[in-house]
Chain A
Amino acid sequence: MRDLAERLGGEPVAGEPPTGATAAAATPAEAPDDDTPIVSRLAGHARLARIVSRFVAELPERLERMDAAAAAGDMVELASLAHWLKGSGGSMGFDQLYEPSLALEQAAKTGEAKIAGETLAELHRLERRIQRGVAAPTNEVAEAEA
Chain B
Amino acid sequence: MKNDIWEATRTSDLDEPMPSAPPRSPLLDAKVMMVDDEPLMTALIETHLEEAGYTNFVSTNDPREVLGLLRHEQPGVLLLDLMMPGISGFDLLEAIRADRNLRYTPVIVLTASTGADAKLRALQLGATDFLAKPVDASELVLRVRNTLAFHQYTDRMVNFDVVTQLPNERPFDRGIASLLAQSIVEGTDLALLSIEVPDCRLLRESVGQAAADQVARAIARRLTRFAEHENPSAAQGIPWERAPRVARLAADRFGLVLEGASSAHAVESAAKRLARTLSEPVGLGRHDTVPSVWIGIALAPGDGRSAEVLRKSADLAATHARQNGVLPVQFASAELNERSLERVLLGSQLRGAAERGELRVHYQPKVDLRSGRIVGAEALVRWQHADHGLLAPTRFVPLAEEMGLITAVGEWVAEQACRDAADWRRAGLGDLKVAINVTRLQFVTGDLCSVLRQAMFDAGLPPSQLVIELTESMLMDGIDDVLKLMHELKALGVTLSVDDFGTGYSSLSYLKRFPLNELKIDRSFVKDLPGSAADTSIVRTVVELGHSLGMSITAEGVETAEQRACLKDLGCDLFQGFVFSRPVPVEQFVELARNPPRG
Q: Which residues of A contact B (CB under 8 A)?
A: 1-2, 14, 47-48, 51, 54-55, 58, 80, 83-84, 86-92, 95, 98, 102
Closest A residue to B37 by CB, please name it: A84
User: CB distance A48 to B133 under 8 Å?
Assistant: no
Known: A1-B13, A1-B15, A2-B13. A87 touches B44 (CB 8 A): no
User: Please, which residues of chain A bring their CB within 8 A of the CB of B38?
Assistant: 84, 88
- Other-chain contact of B134, A47, A58, A80, A87 (Cβ < 8 Å): A87
User: Please, which residues of chain A bring their CB within 8 A of the CB of B47?
Assistant: 47-48, 51
* A83→B47 CA distance, assembly (Å): 23
* B284 contacts A by Cβ under 8 Å: no
Closest B residue to A101 by CB, please name it: B112
Known: A83-B112, A87-B134. A92 touches B44 (CB 8 A): yes
Tell me, rounded to whole Å, the shortest Cβ–Cβ distance linking A72 to chain B: 18
* A48→B13 CA distance, assembly (Å): 13
Query: In which size bucket is the chain B interface?
Result: 10 to 19
Known: A88-B134, A91-B133. A48 touches B44 (CB 8 A): yes
28 A-B pairs with C-beta separation under 8 A: A1-B12, A1-B15, A2-B13, A48-B48, A51-B44, A51-B47, A58-B40, A80-B83, A83-B112, A84-B38, A84-B83, A84-B112, A86-B112, A86-B134, A87-B83, A87-B110, A87-B134, A87-B135, A88-B41, A89-B134, A90-B133, A90-B134, A90-B135, A91-B41, A91-B134, A91-B135, A92-B44, A95-B134
User: Please, which residues of chain A bring their CB within 8 A of the CB of B43?
Assistant: 51
* A98→B132 CA distance, assembly (Å): 13
* A2→B11 CA distance, assembly (Å): 13
Q: Which residues of B contact A (CB under 8 A)?
A: 12-13, 15, 38, 40-41, 43-44, 47-48, 83, 110-114, 133-135
User: CB distance B40 to A83 under 8 Å?
Assistant: no
Closest 6 CB pairs of A and B: A90-B134, A87-B112, A87-B133, A91-B134, A91-B135, A51-B43
User: CB distance A92 to B40 under 8 Å?
Assistant: yes
User: Please, which residues of chain B bring their CB within 8 A of the CB of A54?
Assistant: 40
* A88→B133 CA distance, assembly (Å): 7
Tell me, rounded to whole Å, the shortest Cβ–Cβ distance linking B110 to chain A: 8
User: Please, which residues of chain B bring their CB within 8 A of the CB of A14?
Assistant: 134
Tell me, rounded to whole Å, the shortest Cβ–Cβ distance linking B154 to chain A: 30
* A102→B133 CA distance, assembly (Å): 12
User: CB distance A86 to B40 under 8 Å?
Assistant: no
Closest B residue to A4 by CB, please name it: B15
Of the listed residues A1, A2, A87, A102, the one surrounded by the most CB atoms of chain B closer than 10 A to its CB is A87
- Other-chain contact of A102, B13, B40, B48, B114 (Cβ < 8 Å): B114
User: Please, which residues of chain A bring their CB within 8 A of the CB of B112?
Assistant: 83-84, 86-87
User: Please, which residues of chain B bring their CB within 8 A of the CB of A80?
Assistant: 83
* A16→B41 CA distance, assembly (Å): 25
Closest B residue to A48 by CB, please name it: B47
* A87→B38 CA distance, assembly (Å): 10
User: Please, which residues of chain B bring their CB within 8 A of the CB of A95?
Assistant: 134
Of the listed residues B43, B110, B111, the one surrounded by the most CB atoms of chain A closer than 10 A to its CB is B43
User: Please, which residues of chain A bring their CB within 8 A of the CB of B44?
Assistant: 48, 51, 91-92
Tell me, rounded to whole Å, the shortest Cβ–Cβ distance linking B208 to chain A: 56
User: Please, which residues of chain A bring their CB within 8 A of the CB of B13?
Assistant: 1-2
* A35→B38 CA distance, assembly (Å): 29
Tell me, rounded to whole Å, the shortest Cβ–Cβ distance linking B131 to chain A: 10
User: Please, which residues of chain B bring their CB within 8 A of the CB of A98?
Assistant: 134
User: CB distance A55 to B40 under 8 Å?
Assistant: yes
User: CB distance B40 to A51 under 8 Å?
Assistant: yes
User: Please, which residues of chain A bring their CB within 8 A of the CB of B113?
Assistant: 83
User: Please, which residues of chain B bring their CB within 8 A of the CB of A2?
Assistant: 13
Closest A residue to B85 by CB, please name it: A80
* A95→B111 CA distance, assembly (Å): 16
User: CB distance B83 to A88 under 8 Å?
Assistant: no
Closest B residue to A2 by CB, please name it: B13
User: Please, which residues of chain B bring their CB within 8 A of the CB of A58?
Assistant: 40
* A51→B51 CA distance, assembly (Å): 14
User: Please, which residues of chain A bring their CB within 8 A of the CB of B110?
Assistant: 87
Given contacts A86-B133, A87-B133, 8 further A-B contacts (CB under 8 A): A2-B13, A51-B44, A80-B83, A84-B38, A84-B112, A87-B112, A88-B134, A91-B41
User: Please, which residues of chain A bring their CB within 8 A of the CB of B15?
Assistant: 1
Tell me, rounded to whole Å, the shortest Cβ–Cβ distance linking A139 to chain B: 19
* A83→B114 CA distance, assembly (Å): 10
Tell me, rounded to whole Å, the shortest Cβ–Cβ distance linking A93 to chain B: 9
* A48→B110 CA distance, assembly (Å): 19
* A142→B133 CA distance, assembly (Å): 29
Closest B residue to A54 by CB, please name it: B40
User: Please, which residues of chain B bring their CB within 8 A of the CB of A87?
Assistant: 41, 83, 110-112, 133-135
User: Please, which residues of chain A bring their CB within 8 A of the CB of B48?
Assistant: 48
* A88→B43 CA distance, assembly (Å): 12
Tell me, rounded to whole Å, the shortest Cβ–Cβ distance linking A144 to chain B: 29
Tell me, rounded to whole Å, the shortest Cβ–Cβ distance linking A77 to chain B: 11
Known: A14-B134, A83-B83. A88 touches B40 (CB 8 A): yes
Closest A residue to B113 by CB, please name it: A83
User: Please, which residues of chain A bring their CB within 8 A of the CB of B12?
Assistant: 1
* A129→B47 CA distance, assembly (Å): 26
* A102→B134 CA distance, assembly (Å): 12
User: Please, which residues of chain B bring their CB within 8 A of the CB of A89?
Assistant: 134
Tell me, rounded to whole Å, the shortest Cβ–Cβ distance linking B412 to chain A: 81
* A102→B112 CA distance, assembly (Å): 10
Tell me, rounded to whole Å, the shortest Cβ–Cβ distance linking B288 to chain A: 61
Closest A residue to B140 by CB, please name it: A91
* A130→B47 CA distance, assembly (Å): 22
Tell me, rounded to whole Å, the shortest Cβ–Cβ distance linking A54 to chain B: 6
User: Please, which residues of chain B bring their CB within 8 A of the CB of A92?
Assistant: 40, 44, 134
* A14→B136 CA distance, assembly (Å): 11
* A21→B212 CA distance, assembly (Å): 68
